Amino acid sequence: MPRFQPLQQTGLPSSPQLEVAQPLPRSFYARKATVVARDLLGKILIHQQGPLTTAGLIVETEAYQGPEDLAAHSSKGRRTPRNEVMYGPPGHAYLFLLYGMHWAFNVVTAQQDVPHAVLLRALQPLEGLPTMAARRHQPEHSRLLTNGPGKLCQAMGLRREHYGVDLCDGPLFIANAPKVPFITSPRINVDYAGAWAARPWRWSIPGNAWVSVKPKPAQS
């Protein structure tokens, strides 16, 4: 059995379908982050950058729910130029720079003045694989293309200029797709948040090869 199933055999949307794909409505994002994070699994992130279209199936997400959530940038109501967009209306992009070199992409959820966001941690490439491979300096079939927050931003061409863009009207959006199974696990690298770090606010598609850090099996 091959390690990676060829895309043609996955039953996932093909290029013609992606060309007519529509953005999810703002009402989809106007719910708390834990709900949106779960519902985003299996949806498709699409970036139409001039002639270059890249798209990927969302296979891993994390919810951040300020002001209560001590792992969120908006914890305790913290409001700075960096996280300002989290306090705006839902359906916009929140990008931030990590470790001075990697961008991370989030969608703002909930209502105005309720600073929730969902971090996209991993995608399964669907479209524009040559473009992604060139941006990532990796082979087209490699899971290293998009199996992490920084990696997927590089592969999808997401950077500072996408901070605050409207995901409901523009070349960067998320399209609907059938529901998929999911598992939950604790969020990655938020140990500073004490008990909040232990909450199962990470969602992923079980067994998907593009999920970043392997989730620990649930206790039974």
Partner DNA sequence: GAATAGATTGTCT
Partner DNA sequence: GACAATCTATTCT
Residues at the site binding DNA, with contacts judged by CB under 7 A: 62, 64, 71-74, 78, 80-83, 94, 96-102, 104, 106, 117, 119, 121, 136, 144, 148-152, 187-190, 192, 212
Nearer to DNA, 19 or 68 (CB): 68
Nearer to DNA, 21 or 91 (CB): 91
Shortest Å, Cβ 133 to DNA: 12
Shortest Å, Cβ 190 to DNA: 5
Nearer to DNA, 18 or 83 (CB): 83
Q: Give me the sign of the Cα torsion angle 93, 97, 122, 3.
A: positive
Nearer to DNA, 52 or 97 (CB): 97
Cβ–Cβ < 8 Å for 102, 150: yes
- Angle at which helices 149-156 and 129-136 cross, to 10°: 120
Shortest Å, Cβ 207 to DNA: 14
Shortest Å, Cβ 120 to DNA: 9
Range list of H helices, 55-183: 129-136, 149-156
How far is it, in rounded angstroms, from Cα 66 to Cα 53? 33
How far is it, in rounded angstroms, from Cα 24 to Cα 154? 23
Cβ–Cβ < 8 Å for 112, 190: no
